Amino acid sequence: MKNLLIKIAQSLVDDPEQVQVDEVVSSQIIILELRVAKADMGKVIGKQGKTANAIRTLLNAVAGKARKRYMLEIVD
């Protein structure tokens, strides 16, 4: 899942080397923390958060097959 998120984010941003994803594992959910360059933050979030919501939808679709819960956080 982490690799999927990295590939998606790298395809959206101008500086793909700055993309970082950290996994925070708790008992019931896995939180994926996405970090990008400040200049690319708007590209990952999108207008009214539509790009971020689309990424979350993709993650939830893949997570459903894996029977796990993932949450995406975009960190400054």
pLDDT tens readout for residues 12-41:
999 999 999 999 998 889 999 999 999 999
Domain 2-75, what architecture?
Answer: 2-Layer Sandwich (3.30)
Give the dihedral sign, CA 73/18/16/23.
negative
pTM: 0.89
Instruction: Give CA 63 to chain center in angstroms.
Output: 13
Residue 62 in contact with residue 40, Cβ under 8 Å?
Answer: no
pLDDT mean across residues, the chain: 94
pLDDT at site 68: 86
